[in-house]
């Protein structure tokens, strides 16, 4: 049974913590952000909370601050639904769900696992609001001119907020039309010279369009399209080769886990390449930079892999089999390698910041929580079971896993925007202090 502990007044108002059969610690020193309460100082210890026989039990033996239930100081005591818990000046209540887990509890547990704050002031309708607006050719060109010495805005000049990407949609539409033209051309003329072009355009259309989305979401605009193309091709190809080496050297993963071993092997290979190619460059300190770098390598990996699958399908099942493979992997592309590697790399940049990459960073809980979540998503994706057959996306499993991957992604974008805002504030304070005093 899971019970929701909710702060109804005080410093932690609206804070909700889901408690199940496992004892948890809430306080300032916990490693999980969703369990931190601001009412307790680091030197004041923590509360241990557990569920015994369906009842929430509070244990304050490790807390130096007096804890009250119904205005009576307690050390260890049950907390029932009508009881009032007071921690410092904050008032808490226990919410006992009548049946199973609520959506709020699931959200809280998800937040525990990945260690990223819930989305605030987030609306997809706002983010995609510019997609259907009219844009000139000059605007399209300007959207891609980023990251050069003359086209990188100063930190103080940035418009820090949720970006409104639109160019990716134009590229997707054009790429889809070109793929259809190549397909129709082959059907009409039966000229096999069109097949390589169809494989290339079909395999890269959706992944590259998704990558442009990440480029547009990079609010600092400090990464050039040249840098991204390098990572796409060099990173994509080298990560494929490294993954094959890992499959060969660590074949026991495949023997034990089967197809799900790809989650461990391929995510490790892609992240390794991101770290080695760009991790030691300190001019890209932002979480949003890491998100973009990961998306670039994930795009290359996924697109080249899709081209290989399409080629194999054509050899085994003819032209129709290859087209089916291209179409299916194109639809699923935004939910797979691109967003997985973007999430993992952004989590690494969350730890790395402006420092050069070091192996010690891979031990940081903030990175590990997201990386493990990405690996698990990939493992379930490749697991040999069907949740619910669906048209177009084949299985409901792919859709649900894709949504989870993007939820993590947007939470990382939010963390990146907070990082930028904090840096701007710190820069403003530093500049104000540097001004000569007026007597």
Report pLDDT digits (tens) over 246-264. 999 999 999 999 999 999 9
Q: Is the Cβ–Cβ distance between 2 and 105 less than 8 Å?
A: yes
pLDDT at residue 100, rounded to an integer: 52
The answer to whether the Cα torsion of 338, 342, 345, 347 is positive or negative is: negative
The model's confidence at residue 26, banded by pLDDT at 50, 70 and 90, is: confident
Report pLDDT digits (tens) over 86-137. 998 899 998 886 545 566 667 778 888 899 998 988 999 999 999 999 999 9
CATH of the domain spanning 3-101, picked from 3.90.1150.110, 3.40.50.720, 2.60.200.20, 3.20.20.70: 2.60.200.20
> Could you tell me which of 344, 331, 210 has the C-alpha nearest to residue 273?
344
pLDDT at residue 437, rounded to an integer: 65
pTM: 0.80
pLDDT at residue 255, rounded to an integer: 94
If phi > 0 it is left, if psi is from -120 to 50 it is alpha, else beta; for residue 252 that is: alpha
Mean predicted lDDT score pLDDT of the chain? 92
Answer yes or no: is pLDDT of 432 > 90: no
- Residue 282's CB is within 10 A of a number of other CB atoms, namely 12
pLDDT at residue 29, rounded to an integer: 63
- Angstrom distance (rounded) from CA 433 to CA 203: 54
Report pLDDT digits (tens) over 339-361. 999 999 999 999 999 999 999 99
Q: Is 133 helix (H, G, I), strand (E, B) or coil?
A: coil
Which residues in 107-128 are b (16+ Cβ under 10 Å) and which e?
Answer: ebebbbbbbbeeeeeeeeeebe
pLDDT at residue 99, rounded to an integer: 47
What's the mean pLDDT in 272-286? 97
- Domains of the chain, residue spans: 3-101, 125-427
Report pLDDT digits (tens) over 36-76. 788 888 888 888 898 888 888 999 888 888 999 999 899 99
């Amino acid at each position: 049974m899971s019970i929701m502990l909710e702060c109804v007044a005080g410093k932690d108002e609206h804070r909700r913590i889901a408690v199940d059969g496992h004892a948890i610690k809430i306080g300032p020193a916990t490693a999980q952000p969703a369990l931190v309460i601001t009412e307790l100082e680091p030197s004041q210890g923590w509360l241990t909370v557990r569920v015994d026989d369906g009842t929430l039990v509070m244990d304050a033996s490790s807390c130096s601050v007096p804890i009250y239930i119904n205005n009576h100081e307690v050390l260890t005591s049950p907390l029932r639904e009508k009881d009032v818990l007071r921690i410092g000046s904050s008032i808490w209540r226990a919410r006992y769900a009548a049946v199973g887990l609520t959506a709020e509890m699931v959200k809280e547990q998800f937040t525990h696992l990945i260690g990223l704050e819930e989305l605030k002031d987030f609306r997809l309708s706002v983010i995609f609001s510019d997609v259907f607006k009219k844009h000139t050719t000059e605007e399209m060109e300007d959207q891609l001119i980023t990251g050069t010495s003359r086209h990188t805005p100063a930190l103080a000049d940035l418009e820090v907020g949720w970006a409104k990407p639109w160019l990716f949609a134009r590229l997707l539409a054009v790429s889809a039309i070109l793929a259809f033209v190549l397909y129709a051309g082959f059907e009409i003329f039966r000229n096999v010279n069109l097949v390589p072009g169809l494989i290339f355009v079909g395999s890269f259309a959706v992944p590259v369009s998704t990558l442009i989305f990440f480029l547009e979401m990079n609010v600092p605009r400090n990464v050039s399209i040249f840098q991204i193309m390098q990572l796409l091709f060099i990173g994509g190809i080298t990560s494929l080769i490294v993954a094959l080496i890992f499959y060969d050297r660590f074949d026991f993963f495949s023997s034990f886990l089967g197809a799900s071993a790809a989650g461990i092997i391929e995510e490790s290979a892609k992240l390794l390449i991101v770290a080695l190619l760009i991790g030691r460059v300190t001019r890209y300190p932002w979480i949003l930079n890491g998100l973009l770098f990961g998306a670039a390598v994930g795009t290359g990996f996924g697109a080249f892999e899709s081209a290989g699958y399409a080629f194999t399908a054509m050899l085994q099942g003819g032209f129709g089999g290859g087209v089916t493979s291209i179409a299916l992997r194109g639809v699923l592309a935004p939910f797979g390698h691109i967003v997985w590697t973007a999430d993992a790399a952004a989590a690494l940049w969350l730890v790395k910041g402006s420092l050069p990459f070091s192996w010690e960073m891979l031990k940081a809980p903030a990175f590990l929580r997201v990386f493990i979540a990405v690996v698990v998503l990939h493992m379930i994706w490749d697991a040999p079971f069907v949740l619910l057959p669906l048209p177009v996306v084949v299985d409901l499993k792919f859709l649900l896993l894709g949504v989870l991957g993007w939820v993590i992604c947007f939470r990382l974008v939010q963390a990146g925007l907070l990082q930028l805002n904090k840096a701007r504030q710190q820069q403003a304070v530093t500049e104000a202090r540097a001004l000569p005093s007026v007597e």
